[in-house]
Structure 1
């Protein structure tokens, strides 16, 4: 991912967060359909079907969009993605690397800002109504765990333990991405 490319990134804050001690899996939603986000001078939402042709390629899971901090990928089956009626759901097995341990520790403490995704709009993959952009067909390149300021509300991130997850705690966040216009 080179600077100046046509890759767009959108971050999503968790609507609900829960963590269990000893967890090595992170799961939740990287994107939710129909949720509106203010992106600079326009608002944006993701339409159902926007990811329908994106899940067959190799999608990466990163920390803060940093390609040097790979947390998983679909090719190795350490990242699983599926689309349901709510949005783009993910299940990520965290690696035993510094980045993986950092994500697990931040998740357990409730310090993660949310989820994000990097994409390219496919030809004809967007529609505009006034200053509202609806994404209808995108090429998904990566999802990212973000440690701060997501743009989209209403995703969930949960750190899962192979043990009981009855200890899970729920948190709500209300953050907005201060510099969303730089990603547009």
Structure 2
């Protein structure tokens, strides 16, 4: 999909390029390229209108952020030399920690968004959930009440420390996914 940008969008891109570039003016061909946006997908127009493509395309960045978070917090790129069986156990354990932390963080972020219309940071939410895993392990042996208390503590910490900074006129991933969900499952 090739789309001509509005004048305001072109000005923002030009300002960004000027900041990035130290000296000189952009060439005419660079200015012309700046006036269009190209998005490539294998989804046909039968399923998705061109104007609906950009918000979904922007979700790709959310996936990148999620993988960066996993890599930073769980250090999945640092593995010592070990036997294959031990590595498999280590890998499965790490994947379980990632799954539990991500599930808790996303539920907390979702509740924060539903109750207060505030988007929580992926990184901070997963960090809070990861820190609670040892407490969760102890709470499992004590019973359901203890587990709920740990989850409430994670939620409160995400509310207190996990708010995401928002750029103006920026659509939240929750907004994009909710829109997509409503369109998919309506009727």
Do these two structures clear the TM 0.5 threshold for a shared fold by scoring above it?
no
TM-score for both structures, normalised by structure 2? 0.22
Larger Rg: 2
User: Counting strand residues as a fraction of each chain, which structure ranks higher?
Assistant: 1
Greater per-residue helix proportion: 2
TM-score with structure 1 setting the length: 0.22
